Structure 1
Amino acid sequence: MQNQSFVTEFVLLGLSQNPNVQKIGFVIFLFSYIATVGGNLLIVVTIISSPALLGSPMDVFLAFLAFLDVCYSSAFAPKMIVDSLHERKTISFEGCMTQLFAEYLFAGAEIIILSAMAYDHYVTICKPLRYLSLMNGRLCGILMGVAWTGGFLHSVIQILFTFQLPFRGPNVINHFLRDLYPLLELACTDTHILGLLVVGSSGFICIIKFSLLLISYCVILFSRRTHSSEGRRKALANYGSYISVVVLFFVPCISLYARPPSAFSFDKMVAIFYTIVTPLLNPVIYTFRNKEVKNAIRKLWTKLLAVFN
C-alpha cells in the first residue's frame, strides 16, 4: 500500500504565538541544548578515556546512555532552536517522518539500556559472588545490541503505520514538535484503531517497564534491610539517583502515550520536559552520585589544562 498523502509539509504553531515567549524559548532551548550535549559528551569522553571505568559494565552503560541522550536531543533541539526565530515554522513530510523515526529509535534504546542498568544493580547487590560471570564484556555488548535492535524495530513499526495515513487536508500542527498524536489528528481517516495500537505499543510498554524497574529497585533496597542504618542510607542515596532518572524518563512518556490519542493543553509542557529537561538532568544526576566518574572527570580536566598550559 502506498502513501496516499498529498501534504508535502506541515506547519507548526510552536510553543506560543507571542514573539516575546518565542525569544525566551530560543534562549532556553539553545543553552539547554549546549549544556545537554556538553554534559553528556563529557561523560562519554571521560569513560572512554579511563581504562578503569571502561572495565565497569555500569559505567559502560552510563556512557551509552549519555550518547543516546545526545542523539535524542539532537533529533529535536536544533530544529526547535531555529523555529523559535521564525514566524512561520514548517517541516517537510519526509523530515517529519525522519524525526519521528529518530524519536522512537533513541527512546526505545534508552528504555532497554535503563533496564540493563537495573539488572546490573540487581546482580551487584543480590548476586555479588556471581557478578563477574553474569556481567561481563560480552553480555554488555549483547545488551547494547539488543537496545539498538529493540529501538529500531519499535521505530519502524510506528513509522510504517504513520506513513500509510492519508494527509490530504489540514497541515497545521498545534505543537512545537512533530509528535505522533498531533499527526493522527490531521489524518483524513479514522485513526481510532491506530491510536489504540500506539497506546498498546508505547503507553502500556512504558507502564510495564516502569513498574518492573521500580520493583527491581525495591527488591535491591529490601535486600539491604539487614545492613546498618548508615548502610541503608548510603544505598538509598546511591540508588535514589538511578530511580530519579527512571522516573524522569518514564513519567512524561506514560502521561502522553498511556491515554487516548487526543491533545491536551499540558502536552507542550510535558514535551519540553522529556525533550529538554530529562536529557539535561541525566548527566548531572548520574555523576553527582558516582565518585569514580567525578574523579575521572577531574583527572581529564587536569590533563587538558596541562596540555593547553
Structure 2
Amino acid sequence: MTHADHDLSSILDECAQEAQKLIGQGHVADYIPALARINPDQFGMAVCGVDGTEFTVGQSDTSFSIQSISKVFTLALALQSPGAASVWERVGREPSGNAFNSLVQLESERGLPRNPFINAGAIVVTDVITSHFVSPVLQILSLVRKYANCDDIYIDEEVADSEEESGHRNAAIAHLLKSQGNLVADVDDTLAAYYRQCSIAMTCRDVARAFLPLAAAGQHPLTGQTLMPALRAKRINSLLLTCGLYDGVGNFAYRVGIPAKSGVGGGIAAVIPGHYSICVWSPELDELGNSLAGTRALEVFSHETNLSVF
C-alpha cells in the first residue's frame, strides 16, 4: 500500500495532534541528571521511505539523547566485528519480562542476559566491541554516522558524565557479568564505551535515516550501500519486535504492531520492513520507560496507514 505525499503529511499531522494530547501525563528520565533538565513539552517525528522520500512533523530536527536506541547500532557493529561468532553464545534472544536494568534475572540465569536490548545484554554487546577494537567509541560513532548518512552526529559529553555519575546500577550489572565470566574487557573500559554510546545525540530525521537499512533489507536507499546482509536485517527486526520496548513490548506489539526500539531520552525508532523507517521523540515516559506521546503517535501512524507486520 502506497500513499501520496500529501496523504502521509496529513497522517503525520494527525499523529502529532494525538501525541500532543498526552504531553504532561508522563515523566522525564529524572534519574539521569542531564535528562531531568529537558523541556518535556516537545514532540518530533520523521518518516523515511525505502524510496528515499522523507516526511517530518514537529521538532524533527532537534537533537536528543538516543540512549537505548544506540543498542541497535552496537548490535549491528558487534555482528560485523571479529567477535561476531561469540555474540549469541553470550547473549540470549528472548524477551525479559523484567525491568531493563534488573539484576535478579542475571543472577539466577548465571550471567547470560536474556537479550541484547536490556542493559545487561547491551553491556555484553559493548564488551564484544570494546575487546575487539582499539577505539570502540570511535567505531560506534562512525557506524552511526554512516547509517544516518550524517557526519555531524556527536556524543553529548555532559550526558555521558551524568550517566557515569549516576550509573551505579549499570556498574553493578557489569561487575556481576564479570564475576560470572561474561565480560572480557576491563569493566571500566566497557562501561565508559557504554555510557558514551547511550549519550549519542541525534535528531528524529537522523535516527529515521539510520534505521533505513533495517527497512530496506540491509541496503541504504540514500547512499546505495549494502550495510548488512538481508538476513541480518530481518533477524534484528525480529528482536526489535520481541525485545525492543523492555517489559512493555507485548502491549506495544498489540497496539502498534511494528518492530521498534525505545530509549529513555524519549525517542522510539521503528521499522516497517519494505516501507518505512520512523523515529518519534517526546521526552515524557510511561512507567516502563517508553515515550508516552511517541507510542501514541506510532499507534496512529500504524492504524492510519494500515501498515504493520501483522
TM-score by length of 2: 0.31
Which structure has greater helix proportion? Answer: 1
Which structure has greater strand proportion? Answer: 2
